[in-house]
């Protein structure tokens, strides 16, 4: 697999040929860490971290020497070694719920070796629970990190600051939207409200810098699974819906769309790294049919030959839209179907019905686009009868893939607020396993047994269909 020569980029990045390589004797300004370690869980989906790639691009545009440490294919000792070797002034570690323990453990190890390095965190869970990340970190950036973190890093580096001087910059929190600091001696909190980027700000951001990742390993993962390689891209931010179980602390409720010129510049960049497909990670890719149709028509007219997967709701999909998606390269769509009971869908505030879902899934079944359905069973307030109804419904739909989870009450959701007690630090060594983390009226062993049984039934039907 080789790069198109017009991009003039090395296929395998090393310390010496890295486009942002600096003298090993010189410290970098910022190290960004993505603390996910690939566990080979069967349903894992691997993409290089798009948010960190975006943040790295903004930091570099500010003139800051920046290094990215992606833990996905590494061991902890290698991550620590890379970080320490960089001798950074600042280390920023991303954290979502499933990575929070990794983030904190890495911070503690780095603190022991580099006591004068400033440690900060950001991401969904730090945004919702900043106190949880102190004292392992010196500070937290809540919300969209690109709004404040790069300017803060530039000011910190230019002022030749040390961690003890952090509160000198923190005296003006309004300069850094979303900053959260706590004084180590008197416990005083310095914070400012996060801001939500408007469409102009989003479209003015530099393209995500993908130069730091082991593209060959990411590509091989997807080649083995799908026959082509996927890289993530986002065309819109924010979701106006209010599902009870969904947490969206970073991008919020307001939908904002990127200009298609910027989107297609990024797609060409992704193709330049050797990828042959896209994972469109938008929560609301199909929400604005006019925007989605314009994207599809441009994919066709520019003849980029890039296959793509996306998420979609079941409403607003017409047969002509599905045909257009197929012509534009769509190969799989993931639907959050959740429940076969309309009463449970209302309880979830899903704002869809089983009839809408059935109509859309059957329409897709007439195309060459595969469909995958996500389902949730054991939801607080449903019954064993509605659980069984969901299992039966899932098996009746012409889906190509199914996935079941039990409810997970994420911080910041209404579900979290009404379900107690919630285990705050679940064991994420058991990735993609269905483990209840709250006091449920349903038996966990029953849920696991029935889910496994439904998977076997589904796979048996698919095997017979493939043989016929």
Of 21-30, 353-362, 429-438, highest mean pLDDT: 353-362
User: To the nearest whole percent, how much of the chain has pLDDT over 70?
Assistant: 89
Strands 256-257 and 236-237, bridge-based pairing: antiparallel
* CA pseudo-torsion sign 43, 417, 50, 81: negative
Average pLDDT over residues 185-210: 88
DSSP for 272-296, written as a single string: HTT--EEEE--TTTTSSHHHHHHHH
Average pLDDT over residues 185-194: 80
DSSP-based three-state secondary structure for 198:
coil
Average pLDDT over residues 57-67: 97
End-to-end CA gap in the chain: 35
Has residue 19 got a pLDDT over 80?
no
* Alpha-carbon span 166 to 183, nearest angstrom: 9
Q: What share of the chain is helix, strand, coil (3-state, %, to 5)?
A: 40, 15, 45
* Alpha-carbon span 357 to 314, nearest angstrom: 5
* Alpha-carbon span 292 to 325, nearest angstrom: 9
pLDDT of residue 426: 64
pLDDT of residue 1: 29
Average pLDDT over residues 182-199: 80
CA distances from 239 to 176, 222, 288, 416 (A): 24, 28, 12, 19
Has residue 98 got a pLDDT over 70?
yes
Average pLDDT over residues 280-308: 96
What pTM did the predictor assign? 0.89
User: To the nearest whole percent, how much of the chain has pLDDT over 90?
Assistant: 71
Give the right CATH number for 330-468 from 3.40.1210.10, 3.30.70.3270, 3.40.50.720, 3.30.750.200.
Answer: 3.30.750.200
Residues with Cβ within 8 Å of 340's Cβ and at least 6 positions away in sequence, in order, are 354, 386, 389, 390, 391, 392, 393, 394
pLDDT of residue 423: 73
Q: How confident is the model at residue 163 (pLDDT cuts 50, 70, 90)?
A: low
Has residue 17 got a pLDDT over 70?
no
* Cβ-based neighbour number of residue 216 at 10 Å: 16
The region of weakest confidence among 120-134, 154-168, 440-454 is 154-168
* Cβ-based neighbour number of residue 354 at 10 Å: 20
* Alpha-carbon span 133 to 74, nearest angstrom: 23
pLDDT of residue 432: 61
Q: How confident is the model at residue 466 (pLDDT cuts 50, 70, 90)?
A: confident
- Higher model confidence: residue 33 or residue 465? 33
* Alpha-carbon span 106 to 83, nearest angstrom: 10
pLDDT of residue 431: 58
| Cβ pair 79, 71 in contact under 8 A | yes
DSSP-based three-state secondary structure for 391:
helix
Q: How confident is the model at residue 166 (pLDDT cuts 50, 70, 90)?
A: low
Has residue 459 got a pLDDT over 90?
yes
Q: How confident is the model at residue 77 (pLDDT cuts 50, 70, 90)?
A: very high
The region of weakest confidence among 3-12, 55-64, 328-337, 403-412 is 3-12
Q: How confident is the model at residue 9 (pLDDT cuts 50, 70, 90)?
A: very low
The region of weakest confidence among 45-59, 70-84, 160-174, 381-395 is 160-174
pLDDT of residue 231: 98
Q: What is the DSSP letter of 363?
A: H
- Higher model confidence: residue 409 or residue 59? 59
Dump pLDDT digits (tens) for 103-136. 999 999 999 999 999 999 999 999 999 999 988 9
**Helices marked H in 195-318:** 199-204, 215-226, 260-272, 289-302
* Alpha-carbon span 47 to 388, nearest angstrom: 34
Average pLDDT over residues 87-96: 95
DSSP-based three-state secondary structure for 145:
helix
- Higher model confidence: residue 251 or residue 237? 237
pLDDT of residue 3: 30
| Cβ pair 407, 378 in contact under 8 A | yes
Residue 423 phi, psi (nearest 5): -70, 120
Would you list the domain boundaries of the chain? 8-191, 330-468
CA distances from 52 to 83, 210, 382, 463 (A): 15, 9, 39, 40
Has residue 7 got a pLDDT over 90?
no
| Cβ pair 285, 312 in contact under 8 A | yes
pLDDT of residue 182: 77
Kindly report the CATH class assigned to 8-191: alpha beta
Residues with Cβ within 8 Å of 291's Cβ and at least 6 positions away in sequence, in order, are 235, 236, 257
């Amino acid at each position: 697999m080789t790069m198109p020569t017009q991009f003039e980029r090395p296929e395998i990045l090393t310390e010496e040929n890295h486009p942002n390589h600096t003298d090993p004797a010189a410290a970098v300004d910022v190290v960004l860490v993505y603390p996910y370690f690939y566990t080979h869980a069967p349903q894992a989906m691997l993409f290089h971290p798009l948010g960190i790639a975006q943040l790295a691009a903004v930091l570099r545009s500010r003139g800051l020497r920046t290094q990215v440490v992606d833990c996905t294919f590494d061991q902890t000792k290698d991550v620590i070694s890379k970080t320490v070797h960089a001798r950074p002034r600042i280390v920023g570690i991303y954290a979502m719920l499933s990575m929070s323990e990794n983030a904190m453990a890495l911070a503690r190890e780095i603190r022991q070796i580099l006591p004068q390095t400033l440690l900060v965190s950001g991401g969904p869970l730090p945004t919702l629970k900043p106190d949880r990340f102190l004292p392992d970190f010196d500070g937290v950036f809540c919300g969209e990190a690109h709004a404040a973190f790069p300017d803060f890093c530039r000011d910190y580096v230019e002022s030749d600051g040390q961690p003890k001087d952090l509160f000198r910059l923190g005296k003006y929190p309004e300069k850094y939207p979303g900053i959260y600091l706590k004084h180590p001696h008197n416990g005083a909190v310095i914070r400012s409200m996060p801001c939500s980027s408007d469409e102009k700000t989003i479209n003015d951001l530099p393209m995500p810098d993908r130069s730091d990742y082991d593209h060959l390993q990411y590509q091989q993962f997807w080649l083995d699974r799908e026959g082509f390689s996927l890289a993530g891209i986002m065309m819109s931010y924010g979701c106006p819906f209010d599902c009870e179980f969904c947490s969206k602390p970073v991008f919020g409720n307001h939908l904002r769309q990127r200009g298609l010129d910027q989107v297609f510049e990024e797609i060409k960049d992704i193709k330049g790294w050797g990828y042959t497909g896209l994972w469109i990670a938008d929560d609301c890719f199909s929400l604005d049919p006019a925007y989605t149709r314009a994207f599809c028509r441009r994919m066709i007219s520019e003849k980029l030959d890039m296959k793509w997967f996306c998420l979609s709701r079941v409403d607003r999909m017409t047969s002509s839209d599905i045909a257009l998606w197929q012509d534009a390269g769509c190969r799989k769509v993931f639907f959050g179907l959740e429940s076969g009971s309309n009463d449970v869908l209302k309880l979830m505030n899903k704002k869809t019905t089983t009839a809408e879902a059935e109509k859309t899934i059957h329409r897709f079944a007439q195309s060459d686009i595969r469909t995958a359905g996500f389902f949730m069973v054991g939801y607080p307030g449903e019954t064993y009868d509605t659980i069984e109804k969901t299992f039966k419904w899932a098996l009746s739909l012409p889906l190509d893939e199914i996935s079941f989870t039990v409810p997970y009450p994420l911080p910041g959701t209404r579900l979290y607020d009404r379900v107690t007690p919630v285990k705050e630090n679940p064991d994420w060594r058991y990735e993609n396993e269905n483990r209840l983390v709250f006091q449920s009226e349903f038996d966990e062993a029953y849920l696991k047994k029935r889910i496994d049984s439904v998977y076997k039934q589904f796979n048996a039907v698919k095997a017979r269909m493939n043989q016929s």
